[in-house]
Amino acid sequence: MKSLILTLTLIGLLVGCTKETPIDPTEPTPPIDTTTHIIELGRGSVLRNGVLWTPAFSARYYLSDKSRINITAKLRENGFDHNLTLADIEVSKGLHIFESSTYWNGNNKIPEVGYFVSLDLDQQLNSYNVDSTRTNQFIEILRYDSVEHIVEGRFQTFLEGPNTWWFLPDSMAITEGKFHLKIQ
């Protein structure tokens, strides 16, 4: 009788339990309401390792291919030049996945990211590239106006680099990036 009651209690507990699917933080973030702009024209912003970073953003067409752009974010910080480059981006609306930047894969029509820290714009101290072990690294073009040459979107990436200087981090989480830029 005890085993029957124990068995029925166990079955009741198992039937009553439901396992919730955990939210994976690497899943794409929810869609943005595209009826309004995510940031004002001429601006961009991003969280760098969880802290708001607001460098000067700019966008340029490739000289040989007007269907692709580069977006750069530059800021002089603590005497060093920080440069985030989002390169080889197709200006079509939609989600595009970043790949790790190498010497051999430039201009292959797959978006890539690089982050560089330099002194006086000519002495490179450290470089960071896409962490290939992470997922959910993307740029999403929300709007593109080919007449006015305006692009708007969001991005996220995780970067790693050799730690060559004690005051620079080994890796960077570039999250909640957004831009609304006139393409030059």
Q: What is the pLDDT of residue 78?
A: 87
Whether 78 is covered by a domain: the verdict is yes
Whether 117 is covered by a domain: the verdict is yes
Sign of CA dihedral 74, 77, 82, 86: negative
Distance CA 48, CA 171 (A): 10
Number of structural domains, the chain? Answer: 1
Q: Provide the Cα torsion 116, 120, 121, 122; round to 10°.
A: -100
Q: What is the pLDDT of residue 96?
A: 93
Whether 18 is covered by a domain: the verdict is no
Whether 132 is covered by a domain: the verdict is yes
Per-residue pLDDT of the chain (184 residues; tens, 9 = 90+): 656 555 555 455 444 444 333 344 444 555 555 457 888 999 999 999 999 999 999 999 998 888 999 999 999 998 899 999 999 999 999 999 987 655 555 566 789 899 999 988 778 888 898 998 888 899 999 999 999 999 999 999 999 988 778 888 899 999 999 999 999 9
Query: Can you name the residues that pair with 73 across neighbouring β-strands?
Result: 57, 84
Whether 32 is covered by a domain: the verdict is no
Give the domain extent around 112: 39-182
Whether 19 is covered by a domain: the verdict is no
Whether 56 is covered by a domain: the verdict is yes
Distance CA 64, CA 14 (A): 63
Enter the tokens of residue 76.
Answer: 């002089």
Whether 61 is covered by a domain: the verdict is yes
Q: What is the pLDDT of residue 141?
A: 96
Q: What is the pLDDT of residue 15?
A: 47
Distance CA 86, CA 71 (A): 5
Q: What is the pLDDT of residue 80?
A: 92
